[in-house]
Structure 1
């Protein structure tokens, strides 16, 4: 019975995901991070099936908004959409995760090199703002939003590189990495991602290509260790 569970759970889930105050009806951009956060925090469980109506009830928006959010998540391969089937949260296995991380490393080595060429002040401010948001979420114990913001950091860095096809390619890999992190990473308040992100920003701002490459490679090493070792241990039980 793979549904979004009970009506009471739906109300609790909605209460746990407050919408920032704004005038007017919620948009796709408002609802997307809330649904993605719910997936990352496994309030919408891996491999669970649900309906547009159930999500619309939970988040208090129309089916058309939900449909567009699901289409975005489907494009990112976080949600699987098939004709005549309910939407389903993806569940990358160990080999898929390994391949995703390998592809990310190849892409991000080039992207960080390009980002160092002519970093713009507004782009660097955006990166630092994402790092600050990530740190605040971790301090509050908000693991799902922290994972999502960590991914957004990498996507913003990719956008700075000025190579749209390569950035788009990375955009297909980062959400899946976030999903794997949510499933397999040990749940702990100790988390070094934001410090590593901040060091990468400093290197990019200084146009220190070699240092930025070294830091990114080290960061991806840590990510790979957390994911593959934890996932591998879980799969062997």
Structure 2
């Protein structure tokens, strides 16, 4: 029997298999997943819709107030910078404006405010007279005291803008008068059609209206409201038709305004 005192002490062998090594190793805490990059959360669809509405309204109001003249270029890059949005958002809005005949999209040339032709001018005024005849008749038949009060306030706002010589405000309020009548007709279909036609008429007036002339005469608006108050639908329709014919007769061919600062024309500067 070997002498245990003279025998060398042997250390226990380490496991050699991968399974044994894994079993012997201390348990590690799982590491938290680290994102590849940090960024702001993407805008929600509601945010996109809100900014699209703001861009649309800026162009639409610029046309209605005649700050944006027909033929004015609407390049994508400045619009992106002004509103802090991507080209995709701007293109979507420009396509909607083109669908509503406010903007023209030209291949390889970009967008510009629409320039109605003579033929389109005649067709648009024919359609507008027919629409507004139906609208005024409905308002004369359905107007409530609250409706008449709103129309009187509209006339007061027009009168103030006219005496301030505020042409953009006056042009916007003159168009708003007709749109208010459409709203009071109680027919949303007629109202929607008139919104499109009035915007196109604003482009026509901006091209053809002689300098210094009012697009709509305030006194004519007032006489129409007086007929509506009396419930005289036939006379209100006659006056409106005469009013629109006068507007069309006073148009003359005129060159578009010179290019100006886009931010100012959009009411942002």
Tell me how far apart the structure 2 counterparts of residues 137 and 70 of structure 1 sit (CA, whole Å): 31
* Structure 1 equivalent of residue 207 of structure 2: 183
* Structure 1 equivalent of residue 232 of structure 2: 208
Tell me how far apart the structure 2 counterparts of residues 102 and 112 of structure 1 sit (CA, whole Å): 16
In the TM superposition, residue 170 of structure 1 has moved relative to its aligned partner by 1.9
Which range moves more in the overlay, 164-173 or 86-95?
164-173
Contact 1:50 1:86 in 2 (8 A): yes
Q: Deviations over 1:111-140 (max 9, x none)?
A: 111111120233333333333333333333
Contact 1:147 1:182 in 2 (8 A): no
In the TM superposition, residue 174 of structure 1 has moved relative to its aligned partner by 0.9
The 3 A distance-change label for structure 1 pair 137 and 182 is farther
Contact 2:66 2:171 in 1 (8 A): no
The 3 A distance-change label for structure 1 pair 134 and 95 is same
Q: Does 1:152 align with 2:152?
A: no
Instruction: Determine which structure has more spread, i.e. the larger CA radius of gyration.
Output: 2
**Unaligned segments of structure 2, at least 5 residues:** 1-49, 256-269
Which range moves more in the overlay, 123-132 or 213-222?
123-132
Q: Does 1:194 align with 2:233?
A: no
Root-mean-square deviation (CA, aligned residues, Å) is 3.2
Which range moves more in the overlay, 140-149 or 88-97?
140-149
Which range moves more in the overlay, 26-35 or 162-171?
26-35
* Structure 1 equivalent of residue 160 of structure 2: 136
* Structure 2 equivalent of residue 126 of structure 1: 150
**Unaligned segments of structure 1, at least 5 residues:** 1-25
User: Counterpart of 1:157 in 2: which secondary structure?
Assistant: helix
The 3 A distance-change label for structure 1 pair 184 and 118 is same
Trace 1:1-237 onto structure 2 (pairs within 5 A).
34-39=58-63, 44-58=68-82, 62=85, 70=94, 73-81=97-105, 86-188=110-212, 193-227=217-251, 230-231=252-253
User: Counterpart of 1:74 in 2: which secondary structure?
Assistant: helix
Q: How many residues end up aligned between the 2 structures?
A: 205
Q: TM-score, normalised by structure 1?
A: 0.70
Which structure features the higher share of helix residues? 1
Tell me how far apart the structure 2 counterparts of residues 226 and 210 of structure 1 sit (CA, whole Å): 25
